[in-house]
Structure 1
Amino acid sequence: MVRTFVLMAVMTAFVGVIGLMLGGEVGLVIALGLAFAMNFFSYWNSDKAVLRMHGARPVDARLAPELWKMTETMARKAGMPMPALYIMETEQPNAFATGRNPENAAVAVTRGLLSNMSREEVAAVVAHELAHVKNRDTLTMTITATLAGAVSMLANFAIFFGGGRDRPLGIVSTIAMMILAPLAAGMVQMAISRVREYEADAEGAAICGSPDWLASALARLGQLSGRIDNIAAERNPATAHMFIVNPLHMQAVDSLFATHPPIEKRIAKLRAFGGAKGLKSSAQPSRGGPWG
C-alpha cells in the first residue's frame, strides 16, 4: 500500500509540474483543479462507464443461478457484501471488477470464462476480483487512470500554451514534455497495476482456499486469451489494466509497459504464498466449463 501511495503521489506530481511549467503558479492551481474534478467524476461514475464500454449486462440469481451462488459464497468468505454481477458476451475468457468500495462494487465475467473454465477456476477468478474490491484496488486504478489521462491532456495543451517567450517553456522543452510526460505517467500507471495484481492473487487464493485453483485459472487464461479477440477491450485499451489478464493482443511488450505481471511469475508467487501460509494443495480442477 505504501508503494502504491508513493506511485500515486508521483502521478499527482506529474499533473502539478506540467501545470506549473505551462502557466506558473496559476497553471499549477488549474492543473490540480482539473485533476480533482476528473477524479470526482470518476469516483461516482467510472464503474457505470466501464461496464457500458464492454457491453456488460446485469444478471441475478434467476438468470445465472450457479454463477450467482458461487459469487455469493466467495463474497461471504471474503467478509464483504454481494457485488452486482455482470456477464460480457465475448468469447475471450477474462474478468474484471469495478466500483468505488465493497458496498458499490460490480464483478463482470465473460461468456468465454464460463465456457472454458471449471467451477473451481471460475471461483478462483471471482475470488481474485473480489480481492481487488476488498483492497480498494478498483478505486486506486480508477484514480491513476484518470490522472494519467490528465497528464496526457495537459501535455497536448503544451504545444498551444507553452512555446511563447513570456511562458515558462520554450518550444524544444514543450515538445519534449509532450512526448515524455504521457509516457512517464503511463509507466507509473502500469507499475501500480502490476503491484496490485500480485496482492489480489494472494488475497484471492486465501478467499477461495486454494492457490492451485487460481494458478490453474491463470495458466488457462494465459493460453486462451491471447488467441481470442476481445473487440470491446481493443476499442478501449485504457481499461486493459482492470482485467485479470491482459485482454489486448500485444506481442513482446517490454516489462516497463506491461499492464500485468508475467503469468509465470504470478503462478510462482502463488505457489510460494500457499506454502508460506500453509494452504494445502488441492486436487487439480476438473476440465470443461460449468456452463458451456
Structure 2
Amino acid sequence: MMRILLFLGTNLAVIVVASITLRLLGVEGYLTEQGMNFNALLIFCFIFGMAGSMVSLFISKWMAKRSTGTVIIESPSNSTEKWLVDTVAELARDAGIKTPEVGIFPAQQSNAFATGWNKDDALVAVSAGLLNRMRPEEVRAVLAHEIGHVANGDMVTLALIQGVLNTFVMFFARVVAHLVDGFLKSRSDGEGGLGFMGYFAVVIVAEIVFGVIASAIVAWFSRFREYRADSAGAHLAGSGAMINALARLKAETEMPDQMPDTLRAMAITKGQTRSLMERLFASHPPLDDRIRALKEAAYRQ
C-alpha cells in the first residue's frame, strides 16, 4: 500500500511535467474538444508509468547501499570476507554471469538481497546476522539463491512489469474519469460534468483501485520468481543445503525485520504470511511452501 500512496503522491508533479514532455515529443494533450485522444493518453501513461520504474532500476544499487548501510568488500580484510567474495565469484561463474559486487549490511536478522540494473552489474549482499549464525554450506545456498535472481534477470523483469502495470493503472483511471464525466454531462444536457477537481478526484480513486489490483499482480510474479531462485540455488549449491538454509530462515522469522520496504521484494525472506490478504500481496511465498517445493523437486529427480 505504501508503494501506491507514493505513486499517487508523485502524480501531481508528473502531470505538471507531462505537457512539456509531450509537446517536445510532438504529441498533443489527450483531452481535446472532440473528446479523449486515446493514442496520446496511452503515450502519456507509458512515458510516466515506465519512467519511475526505470529510474528506480538504474539507481537500485545506490539506493540499496544507502538504505541498508551495506559495506562493499573492495579488498577482503579477513578470512570470512575472502570466503564470501570467492564463493560469490564461483557461483557467478557457474551461473554464467559477471561476478557481482559483494557486500555486508549490519542487520541481526539472517537475510540477503540482490539488486542491480542488469545481470553483469549487480550487487549481492548478506547480513552480518546471516554470516554469524548460518553454517558455511547454508550461507553458500543463500548466495546461490541470490545469484539465481541475478542470472534470471529478475530485477529487470520486475521493473518492466511494474512499469507496464503503472501505464495501465494511469490509462484506465483516466478513461474511467472521462466516462464518468461524459455520463454526468449526458444527464444534464452537457451542462454538468465533473469539472477539473472532480475529474482529478475520480482519477485518484480509480488509481487506488487499479493500483491495488496491480500490486497483487506484481506480488504474484515476485512469489513466482522466488521459487525459480530457490531452484537455481538448489542447482548451484545442492538441494539439501538450500532446504536447510530456508529452514534456518524460518526459525528466525519472529525476529524484527530490518530490511527497508523498498528492498524486501529483493531479500531472500520476508517472514511468514498468514491471512489470505497477506498471502495475496506478499512478495515471498511462505517458507513452508518453498521448502515443500524443493523437496518435491528433489524427489522427482
Same fold (TM over 0.5): yes
Out of 101, 105, 126, the position equivalent to 1:84 is 101
Cα 1:41–1:276 shift into 2, 3 Å:
same
Which amino acid is the alignment partner of residue 115 of structure 2? Answer: T
TM-score normalised to structure 1 length: 0.74
Cα contact 1:89–1:110 (8 A) shared by 2? yes
Q: Which residue of 1 aligns with 2:251?
A: 223
Which structure 2 residues correspond to residues 150-189 of structure 1 after superposition, within 5 A?
165=193, 174=203, 176-189=205-218
Decide whether the 8 Å contact of 1:158 with 1:178 is kept in 2: no
Instruction: Evaluate the alpha carbon distance shift between residue 95 and residue 161 of structure 1 in structure 2; reply closer, same or farther with a 3 A threshold.
Output: farther
Greater shift, 237-246 or 154-163, is seen at 154-163
Match of 1:109 among 120, 126, 130: 126
Q: CA deviation at 1:167?
A: 7.5
Give the alignment partner of residue 69 of structure 2, picking from 55, 68, 90.
Answer: 55
Secondary structure at the counterpart of residue 261 of structure 1: coil
**1:122 alignment partner, one of 139, 142, 159:** 139
Equivalent residue number for residue 246 of structure 1: 270
| CA apart distance, 1:78 | 1.9
1:69 corresponds to which of 78, 82, 86: 86
Task: Using the TM superposition, name which of 82-91 and 97-106 deviates more.
Answer: 97-106
Q: Secondary structure at the match of 2:120?
A: helix
SS at match of 1:86: strand
Q: Any stretches of 5+ residues in structure 1 without a counterpart?
A: 1-18, 278-292
Measured after TM superposition, the shift of residue 251 of structure 1 is 5.8
Which residue is equivalent to 2:296? Answer: 272
2:47 aligned residue: 33
Contact 1:129 1:244 in 2 (8 A): yes
Are the equivalent residues in 2 in contact too, given 1:145–1:238 (CA < 8 A)?
no
Aligned length: 253
Q: Which has the higher contact order (CA 8 A, sep 6+)?
A: 1
Mapped to 2, the partners of 1:250 and 1:58 lie a distance apart of 32
For 2:69, what is the secondary structure of its paired residue? coil
SS of the equivalent of 2:97 reads coil
**Partner secondary structure for residue 266 of structure 1:** helix
User: Gapped runs of 5+ residues in structure 2?
Assistant: 1-28, 182-192
**Residues 173 and 146 (structure 1 numbering): CA distance in 2 closer, same or farther, change over 3 Å?**
same
Q: Which residue of 2 aligns with 1:5?
A: none
Report if the CA contact (8 A) 1:94-1:225 is conserved: no
Structure-2 separation of matches of 1:177 and 1:43 = 26
Give CA-to-partner distance per residue, 1:92-137, whole Å, 9 cap, x none.
1111111122210110111111111110100000000001100101
| Larger-Rg structure | 2
1:209-237 residue CA offsets vs partner (Å, 9 max, x unmatched): x111111111111221332331x52xxx2
Report SS of the residue matched to 1:139.
helix
Distance 1:140 1:134, change over 3 A: same
The answer to whether the 8 A contact 1:163-1:171 is kept is: no
Where do 4+ consecutive residues of structure 1 move more than 6 Å? 19-22, 149-163, 166-172
Specify which of 139, 142, 161 is matched with residue 156 of structure 2.
139
Q: TM-score, normalised by structure 2?
A: 0.72
Aligned to 1:199: 228
Distance 2:244 2:127 in 1: 17
Question: More deviation in 214-223 or 135-144?
Answer: 135-144
Matched-pair contact (CA < 8 Å) for 1:61–1:68: no
